[in-house]
Structure 1
Amino acid sequence: MSEVALLVDAASRLKEPFLMVIVGEFNSGKSTVLNTLLGRRYLKEGVVPTTNEITLLCYSKTDSNKQERCERNPDGQFICYLSSPILKNMNLVDTPGTNVILQRQQRLTEEFVPRADLVLFVLSSDRPLTESEVSFLLYVQQWKKKVVFVLNKLDLYQNASELEEATSFIKENTLKLLGIADLRLYPVSARSALEAKLYALSFSAQNYEELLYKDPRWISSRFQELEHFLFSFLDGSTDNGMERMKLKLETPVAIAERLLDSAERLLLQQHDKASQELISIKEVVSSIKVYSMKMESDSISWKKRVVYMIEAAAAQAVKLMEFTLQLSNIDLITTYAFKGEKSSPIASTSTLQNEIISPFLSDVQRLLGEYSEWLHSKIVCEGELCLDRLQKQCNNELDIGDVTQSKTVGFLEHGEELSKKVMDNFSASAATKLFEQEIREVVFGTVGGLGAAGLSASLLTSVLPTTLEDLLALSLCSAGGFLAISKFPSRRKEAIQKVRKVADGLARKVEEAMQKDLLEATEKLNDYAEFISKPYQDSAQQRIDWLLETQQELATTVQKLQDLKVQIQNLHVS
């Protein structure tokens, strides 16, 4: 039975007889205590089931001379209807041993104990407070039940000192183990009391009490103290009777307290779970930012490879220019010196375009295409992992699969690929023309104004090996040509620097474009993570807000329940 059902059931039973559950270890004398309370040996074979059963004893108006009626209800509960006077205002529950209860009798622990108004715990003088008894008492304490202890088999103690030692042991250990300070303990000898009652009843029903109270067995059994306590519980005009009424009223209150306590713990667990879930969702989103930083770190190697290819191509172009721009290259010199601007493209120009620039452009475009695919595959893969982590983290409580699938393409599709666009805009023919133009300007600027004689003298001065006297003579004859030729190396160096400057500019533009491609890709990934995580974050936050609101309502209910308990405790006999 659920705690909610128990609460409803307990509230509906407020007008029913007081319910007392009798528990104890095997052979502690529970049945003898019950028979003594009932005044007859009702609990015997053939009338009541074995002690492995749980039996509810109720009052019946049946003539005491007739057979008492016992039956098993459809729900499995065994009920005996007896004519004992004590049952007029009190129902009794007879139980198996506490070890059997803990192991097999789930119904008792889940139904009868929570509903009980009083628990009569029978201990045996030869083994008080066994392990199973302590375990069961700990369970009873969870329901904050009123427990009255009966120390049975009093006659086993030889003197008052032994009895005092036993009662002290029980009180100390119940305080230590169970926290029970106001222990109510009745030492009795149920067997002697039952024998005295049966003897008195066998003689005369009219003089029953007179015979009973004179019987030494009844006096020594000390059972009258327990009986007086229990019967005074049934009398509403006594303090004990008022306590009974309070216990009756407190039973549903105690169940409600247990229910509220369970609800508080459940709400706290749910709140912690939702809070942790929200933190985990945010951690998933944060992990995307960390992954973006890793991608930026990994992209450095891609940039280095592209820059290396540009630098290698530039080095080839420079080497070609250095080879071309040599004074020993008579064909080049004469071509530009005598034909000027009308000269045809030189062989080096074709070499640059076909053997350097064209392969370079092909290789770089291929590498940038791989880079673009790398970026796209990385963000798509991480986006899918992000969604998978969110769904596993939240146990698929929120189904947003259709939404994310419809938006994935828009979020994670290929970007503009700016780096490839930079290379698409790089003109091989323009680079070739620039190369040739620089060569033309170096040569023509050096020898273009000398004419044939000056050029020849200049070349002889610069190229031909001769004696110091020959060089001095030639220099004197062609001083202007020597001066022009001397500027050739610096002009050649300027041309080479222009080639390198063009290459450096291209490398810088490609690096910047690759960085922009990376930033665009990681921004898409971050936006996608925010998009797919938002429903989860909203759901977790809504649960947290609802749980906080419910906890507040529960706290208000708990306070009202505490006020009700105070009102019950303030009841008194009028």
Structure 2
Amino acid sequence: MLKHLMKEVPLLVDATNRLTEPFLLVIVGEFNSGKSTVINALLGRRYLTEGVVPTTNEITLLCYSENESDKQERCERHPDEQFIICLSAPILKEMNLVDTPGTNVILQRQQRLTEEFVPRADLILFVLSSDRPLTESEVSFLLYTQQWKKKVVFVLNKMDLYRSTSELEEASSFIKENTKKILNSEDIGLYPVSARAALDAKLFALYYDGRNFEELLSNDPRWLASGFDELEKYLFSFLDGSTHAGSERLMLKLKTPMAIADRLLHSCEVSVKQELENASQDWVSIKEAVTSVKERAMKLESETILWRKQALSLVDKAKARVIELVETTLQLSKVDLISTYGFKGERSGSIPATSVVENDIIGPAVSDALGLLGEYSMWLQLQTAKEGKLYIEFFDQKWQAFINEMNCVHLDTYLILDKGDEQSIKVVENFSASAAARLFEQEIREAVLGTFGGLGAAGLSASLLTSVLPTTLEDLLALAFCSAGGFLAISNFPARRKEAIEKVRRVADGLARDIDDAMQKDLAQATDKLAQFVEVISKPYQDAAQDNVNRLLEIQEELGSIEQKMWAMKVRIQSLNDS
């Protein structure tokens, strides 16, 4: 519409600065203020119905007709409840008149029609009744017209109701003082008239002798007393381009579409600015939603602590049992063990404790760990799937209108959230219970052989003797009879046992670290997949939000260009007035 108005304004003036279409005069006022009588007096005939009840229920546009007739030439009713009436009244050649419903009409439809038509007016003739000037509805309507900066001329009708000139002057002063405040203007045009007396005088002159109409009218006391002559001179001066009022008419005619354009432009700028702020916020919110995956990952990480503790607890329990078994196995009182490894050496077979380690301790612990880590892996997948669904619902609820069905999330997108490599499970699967049992046995063998392997039969027998003596004192006495080498060997036995325990601890702690690292890698892999998923599903929304911002920025730039063109057009209009 703005572009249409920009094209329309230059077409309103021809090469000689003459208006190319009639001036639009809109008559408003409360019902029974005498609007229809004022219009009939301007037209010179009683075309419109007059009365003491509301008689104008629709907008009525009065246009000129070439065919001279005392009656309406043509009457058309438009779907928007607007009447168009064609008359042969001379004033309508260059000035269209609009009769409107009263400002105080109860029906909102009629008031809406009036308020929609007024913005198109070039001049508003506001008819006030002498018995109730400036009612509440009239003040409200005047305030409404100010948003369009319309020029308003007041007609104080029924002035013959005042009993003296002083009463008329008092009423006129009251109206001027108050309308100056309402319109915020010192230039207030007020014309006290008696439209009925003016109409009666015109009708008498017309029917008595139409050829001498002007002479009869100028000598009629009713016309002279009506005050209508001053009002008509003011209005007709608008039709004369050589007069100051004629120049004002040209300016008013051109300023009307400019005022409409100004208001539309301002409304567009405010609307686009707000839309741009909302669009920018949408774009920021979508970006923030995408980056919030980091916060979700931190929350998920805190929830994995319990899972990791459970996994490490399984390793710790198995470690504690193996250490306990090492301690109970590597005792001097274990005569059979020392005898087996001491005499047979590397040729000896497996000891019963090896089977316990493999089948009763490490084997069940590995099985429990695999079960726990399988649940952990499934839990991670469920959590990321749940978070992914929440993101989809969030985007759909807030910005579903942004994208079309073509850009919706496809099923293959969900494959991103499928299970990963499950590294923690692989760590446990790669840990062999039989290999750990063999390592345990090897440590036992080395501890025994490292202690007793070089003593020989005599020294070994003496050493074994200490394991069956009932008291510590007897141990010491027996050792006194042993060779010096046997004493030294036996004294190293606790250190050998400690080394074996430390190796068990290192192996178990290493496995625990590997499991913990792998569980964290599984978590990182799951959160990376979630971030990738959110990035994929958010892309259509990000692109749509960015496109929306770019579109509104282009509109803003276009509005700025229109504003510059309007400024140039206002300069041109002002130059017409100066010339």
TM-score (norm 1): 0.89
Matched, 1:27 2:28: no
- 1:263-278 correspondence runs (5 A): 263-278=268-283
Q: Give the aligned partner of residue 132 of structure 1.
A: 137
Q: Give the aligned partner of residue 514 of structure 1.
A: 519
Q: Name the CA shift for 1:170/1:423 in 2 (closer, same or farther; >3 Å).
A: farther
The answer as to whether partners of 2:265 and 2:563 remain within 8 angstroms in 1 is yes
Structure 2 distance, partners of 1:318, 1:284, is: 51
Report the secondary structure of 1:28's partner residue.
coil
Q: Give the aligned partner of residue 358 of structure 1.
A: 363
Report the secondary structure of 1:100's partner residue.
coil
Deviations 1:421-460 (A, max 9, x none): 1112112111111111111122222223334443343344
Report the secondary structure of 1:182's partner residue.
coil
- 1:281-292 correspondence runs (5 A): 281-292=286-297
Matched, 1:81 2:81: no
The answer as to whether partners of 2:443 and 2:500 remain within 8 angstroms in 1 is yes
Matched, 1:464 2:469: yes
Unaligned runs of 5+ in 2: 13-18
Deviation at 1:188, TM superposition (A): 2.6
Q: Give the aligned partner of residue 486 of structure 1.
A: 491
Deviations 1:114-167 (A, max 9, x none): 332222111223333333333333433333332222222333445555545544
Q: Give the aligned partner of residue 449 of structure 1.
A: 454
Q: Give the aligned partner of residue 295 of structure 1.
A: 300
The answer as to whether partners of 2:103 and 2:111 remain within 8 angstroms in 1 is no
The answer as to whether partners of 1:237 and 1:573 remain within 8 angstroms in 2 is no
Q: Give the aligned partner of residue 253 of structure 1.
A: 258
Q: Name the CA shift for 1:234/1:403 in 2 (closer, same or farther; >3 Å).
A: closer
The answer as to whether partners of 1:151 and 1:186 remain within 8 angstroms in 2 is yes
Q: Name the CA shift for 1:303/1:182 in 2 (closer, same or farther; >3 Å).
A: farther
Write the letter of the residue equivalent to 2:99. Answer: D
Q: Name the CA shift for 1:144/1:402 in 2 (closer, same or farther; >3 Å).
A: closer
1:315 aligned residue (315, 320, 323): 320
The answer as to whether partners of 2:105 and 2:111 remain within 8 angstroms in 1 is no
- 1:535-550 correspondence runs (5 A): 535-550=540-555
Report the secondary structure of 1:127's partner residue.
coil
Q: Name the CA shift for 1:473/1:321 in 2 (closer, same or farther; >3 Å).
A: closer
Q: Name the CA shift for 1:110/1:215 in 2 (closer, same or farther; >3 Å).
A: closer
The answer as to whether partners of 1:62 and 1:68 remain within 8 angstroms in 2 is no
Matched, 1:41 2:42: no
1:339 aligned residue (330, 334, 344): 344
Q: Name the CA shift for 1:189/1:349 in 2 (closer, same or farther; >3 Å).
A: same
Write the letter of the residue equivalent to 2:561. Answer: T
Matched, 1:97 2:102: yes
Structure 1 distance, partners of 2:184, 2:368, is: 84
Deviation at 1:364, TM superposition (A): 0.8
The answer as to whether partners of 1:7 and 1:255 remain within 8 angstroms in 2 is no
- 1:488-507 correspondence runs (5 A): 488-507=493-512
Matched, 1:553 2:553: no
Deviation at 1:104, TM superposition (A): 0.6
Write the letter of the residue equivalent to 2:134. Answer: L
Moved more, 234-243 or 244-253: 244-253
Structure 2 distance, partners of 1:19, 1:516, is: 80
Cα RMSD between the aligned structures?
3.1
Q: Give the aligned partner of residue 69 of structure 1.
A: 73
Structure 2 distance, partners of 1:113, 1:199, is: 34
Report the secondary structure of 1:266's partner residue.
helix
Deviation at 1:42, TM superposition (A): 2.3
Report the secondary structure of 1:151's partner residue.
strand
Q: Give the aligned partner of residue 157 of structure 2.
A: 152
Structure 2 distance, partners of 1:109, 1:6, is: 21
Moved more, 190-199 or 362-371: 190-199
Report the secondary structure of 1:423's partner residue.
helix
Q: Name the CA shift for 1:400/1:94 in 2 (closer, same or farther; >3 Å).
A: closer
Q: Give the aligned partner of residue 474 of structure 1.
A: 478
Write the letter of the residue equivalent to 1:352. Answer: V
Deviations 1:2-24 (A, max 9, x none): 78778888887763322211111
Deviation at 1:352, TM superposition (A): 1.0
Write the letter of the residue equivalent to 2:281. Answer: Q
Deviation at 1:35, TM superposition (A): 1.8
Deviation at 1:107, TM superposition (A): 7.0
The answer as to whether partners of 1:379 and 1:525 remain within 8 angstroms in 2 is yes
Write the letter of the residue equivalent to 2:254. Answer: L
Structure 1 distance, partners of 2:209, 2:55, is: 31
Write the letter of the residue equivalent to 2:278. Answer: K
Moved more, 312-321 or 374-383: 374-383
Report the secondary structure of 1:396's partner residue.
helix
Write the letter of the residue equivalent to 2:307. Answer: W
May I ask how many residue pairs the two structures share in their alignment? 570
Matched, 1:235 2:244: no
Q: Name the CA shift for 1:192/1:573 in 2 (closer, same or farther; >3 Å).
A: farther
1:420 aligned residue (411, 421, 425): 425
Deviations 1:467-491 (A, max 9, x none): 84x5554232125434332322222
Matched, 1:348 2:353: yes
- 1:430-441 correspondence runs (5 A): 430-441=435-446
Q: Name the CA shift for 1:303/1:164 in 2 (closer, same or farther; >3 Å).
A: farther
The answer as to whether partners of 1:310 and 1:503 remain within 8 angstroms in 2 is yes
Moved more, 248-257 or 498-507: 248-257
Structure 2 distance, partners of 1:533, 1:329, is: 69
Report the secondary structure of 1:383's partner residue.
helix
The answer as to whether partners of 2:35 and 2:127 remain within 8 angstroms in 1 is yes
Deviation at 1:501, TM superposition (A): 0.9
Structure 2 distance, partners of 1:57, 1:101, is: 24
Deviations 1:535-554 (A, max 9, x none): 33233223322322332222
Report the secondary structure of 1:570's partner residue.
helix
Deviations 1:519-550 (A, max 9, x none): 22212222232233233323322332232233
Report the secondary structure of 2:401's partner residue.
coil
Moved more, 87-96 or 250-259: 250-259
Deviation at 1:502, TM superposition (A): 0.6
Q: Could you tell me the percent identity over the aligned residues?
A: 61
The answer as to whether partners of 1:239 and 1:573 remain within 8 angstroms in 2 is no
Structure 2 distance, partners of 1:554, 1:563, is: 14
The answer as to whether partners of 2:123 and 2:252 remain within 8 angstroms in 1 is yes
Q: Name the CA shift for 1:303/1:277 in 2 (closer, same or farther; >3 Å).
A: same
Write the letter of the residue equivalent to 2:75. Answer: E
Unaligned runs of 5+ in 1: none
